[in-house]
Amino acid sequence: MNVLVTGGCGFIGSNFIRQRLGEKDSPLGRLVNLDLLTYAGNPANLADIAGDPRYRFTRGDIGDEALVARLLAEHNIDAVVNFAAESHVDRSIDSPEPFVKTNVVGTLRLLNAVRRHWAGLPGGRKDSFRFLHVSTDEVYGTLGPDDPAFTERTPFAPNSPYSASKAASDHMVRAFHHTYGLPVLTTNCSNNYGPYHFPEKLIPLVILNALEGRPLPVYGDGRQVRDWLYVEDHCAAIWLVLLRGRSGETYNVGGLNERANIDVVTRICSLLDAKAPHADGRPHAAQITHVPDRPGHDRRYAIDCTRLQGELGWAPRETFETGLAKTVDWYLSNRAWCDDITSKKYARERLGSRG
C-alpha cells in the first residue's frame, strides 16, 4: 500500500509516519508526506527517518490540485490520510480566514484531485482505495457535566471558527462519498498529547513554562473537561480504520480519560516536582495563574468510541497516568527540540493554554 500523508510534519502526522515506518510486517509500501510547513509543521519531527528508502517528502499545499495529482500518479498512491489543518482555537478566534482557506477550501481541492485519481484506477485498485480524513470532537460542540459522550450520530454544533471549519471539511468529505462514490473514512478524535506536540497547546505549554519558571496560564476556573488521548494510541486507531474501516463511515477515537484542565496542570506540576525540581524547592504549582476565559470556551468534551472498539477491536494502550509520564519524560529529554521551536516558530507573547 502506497500512502500519501498530508500534514505529516505536524504533531499527529509525524507520530503517524514514524509509527508506520517503524512497524514490522506492515503492508505499507511507499509513504509520501505532503506538508506546506506552516508555523506548526516542523521537518525536525521526522529528521530521524528522513533517510528511510520508503519515505518521500514534498513541500506543498493540499490546495494545489496539480501538485497533488502529480504525487498521486507518480507514486501510485493507494490511500490518502489527511492530517493537514489549521488547528489552534485561539488562532482561529484571532483570524478565522486561514482556517477556512486550509480546512475547507484546501480539503475541497484535495478531494477534487483524489477523486480524479481514484476514478482512473483499474478495478482492483479502485475498489481498495481509501481516503481517510482526520477530524476532531470539537465539531460536536459542548457537553454538560452529566450529558452522554459524543457518538458518531451526535449532531454537529461547532462553537469556534476552528471547529466550524473542521465541521465544514467533514461535511465535504461525506458529500464526496455520497455524491461521487469516493471511498472515504472519517475519524473524530479527542484531545491528543504526547511527543512532538507544538508548544502552544496545554500540556507542552505547561511543561515548558514550568521548567522555565514562567506563569502557567489556566483559562477561567480551569474546570473545562477534555478526554485525553495519547497520540500513539490515536495513530494506531487511524491505521486500523484505514485498513479495516467501512467505507463512508465515521469512527470516534477517544482516550477514555476525562480530566479537568486544572487537574491536568497540577498533575504535570507534581511530575516535574519529582523529575525536575526547582533548585529553591518551590513547587511548580506555585506558577499556576488563572487568566480570563477564552470567548465561547466549550465546557466539556467526551468521546464514545464503542464503534471503533466493537467493530475493529481497538483499545488505548496508555492510561492518562502512563501517557502523561511518558510525555513529560520526552520533553525533559528533548530540550533542544523545544528550544528550537520556541525560538523560531512563534512569538512567546502568543502563548495560551488549549482546552
Residues with active-site annotation: 137-138, 162
Write out the three cell numbers for 226. 477534555
The stretches of 27-80 forming alpha helices (DSSP H) are 65-74
The stretches of the chain forming alpha helices (DSSP H) are 11-22, 65-74, 89-94, 97-99, 107-119, 123-128, 161-180, 202-212, 231-244, 261-275, 306-312, 320-333, 335-344
Cβ-based neighbour number of residue 149 at 10 Å: 21
How big is the chain, counted in residues? 355
Report the alpha-carbon distance of residue 250 to residue 236 in Å, rounded: 16
| SS3 of 228-264 | EEEHHHHHHHHHHHHHHCCCCCEEEECCCCEEEHHHH
- Which residue, chain included where needed, has cell 471549519? 165
What Cα–Cα distance (Å) separates residue 260 from each residue in 81, 253, 264?
31, 19, 6
Residue 82 backbone dihedrals phi, psi, to 5 degrees: -100, 100
